[in-house]
Structure 1
Amino acid sequence: MHPAVRVAALVLGATWTVPNTLIGLVGGIAGLPFGAHCRWRRDDLALVFDRWPWGPGGAITFGNVILHTGDSLDVRCTTYAHRAAWCEDAPIQLADHERAHVYQYMVLGPLFLPMYLLFGGVSVRNRFERAADRYALTGRGWWPWPRP
């Protein structure tokens, strides 16, 4: 892809998902007084709030914002299918998994959250989660529907 086309696509995608990004910004900023740290991760196209103080642990993405309860996204974790004992997957990088969600948001924009919930929310059965795990395992396949 020509660099100018890639930049235009990234700007368009980031603009399309602004409503979701605003949700993440509100949550991230709310965590700052409670110890959250904010930084831009260029490779993930996201503003990351590490040490986010709420939730069961792990990370959640809203547009181009990732809220993460740990110290760094550069940690190994298991896939949803592995945790559900569906298979024996190798550990993945959490950053790669969340980057896939950023890409999904940039394509679907405001449609992402309703579709994510429609397909099962935080669950091994959710095609968005399985696609994010596939991307983290292989570096390909972040889109939740197979290509024809």
Structure 2
Amino acid sequence: MRPFLMRLLIVLGGLWTLPNTAIGLLLGAIGLPFGAHAHWRRRDLALVFHRWPWGPGGAITFGNVILHTGDNLDSPCVTYAHRAGHGDEPAIMLADHERAHVYQYLVLGPLFLPLYLVFGGISVRNRFERAADRYARTGRGWWPFSES
């Protein structure tokens, strides 16, 4: 795809998912007085709030915002299938997993959160999480409605 067209699609996707990004920005800003700090990750098309002070650990994405409880998004993590005991899978990079969610948000915009919840929320059964794990393992297949 031509670079200009790709940039245009990213901008349009960013506008489409702006309500989700606004939620992430609000939550990220709430974390700032408690030690969170933010920086833009161009590769991930996201503003990342590191050291976000709440949650069980890991990261969560809202539009073009990633809330991360750790210091470095480029860290290994286990897949949902591995954590659920569905097999012994190699570790993936958390940044790659969350980037897949950013791509999903860019396409689905305000439909992402309702669909994510309908398909199981934070769970190994959720096709959005399986697709993000697949993308993190292979660099392909971030779309939740395909199996490649």
TM-score, L = length of structure 1: 0.98
Partner residue, 1:2? 2
How far 1:147 sits from its partner (Å)?
A: 6.8
Structure 1 unaligned residues grouped into runs of 5+? none
Corresponding position of 2:137 = 137
TM superposition shift of 1:87: 1.3
Measure the CA separation in 2 of the matches of 1:3 and 1:81: 35
Change in CA separation of 1:139 and 1:79 when aligned onto 2, cut-off 3 Å: same
Aligned-residue Cα RMSD (Å) equals 1.0
Q: State the partner residue of 2:12.
A: 12
Q: 2:56 aligns to what?
A: 56
What is the deviation of 1:145?
A: 1.1
Mapped partners of 1:146, 1:27: distance in 2: 31
Which string of whole-angstrom CA distances, capped at 9 and with x for unpartnered residues, describes residues 75-127 of structure 1?
00000001111111110000000000000000000000000000000000000
Structure 1 match to 2:32: 32
Provide the secondary structure at the position in 2 that maps to 1:116. helix
Give 3-state SS (helix, strand or coil) of 2:43's partner. Answer: helix
The alpha-carbon distance between structure 1 residues 134 and 147, as it changes in their structure 2 partners (threshold 3 A), is closer
Instruction: Name the structure 2 match of 1:78.
Output: 78
**Aligned ranges 1:105-116 → 2 under 5 Å:** 105-116=105-116
User: Partner of 1:44: helix, strand, or coil?
Assistant: coil
5+ residue gaps, structure 2: none
Equivalent AA in structure 1 for residue 15 of structure 2? T
Identity of aligned residues (%): 72
Distance 1:46 1:13 in 2: 12
Matched pairs, number = 148
CA–CA distance in structure 2, aligned partners of residues 103 and 116 of structure 1: 14
Cα distance in 2 between the residues matched to 1:104 and 1:60: 13
Q: 2:141 touches 2:147 (CA, 8 Å); kept in 1?
A: no
DSSP-derived class of the 1:43 partner: coil
CA distance in 2, matches of 1:87, 1:143: 22
Q: CA separation in 1, counterparts of 2:5 and 2:50? A: 31
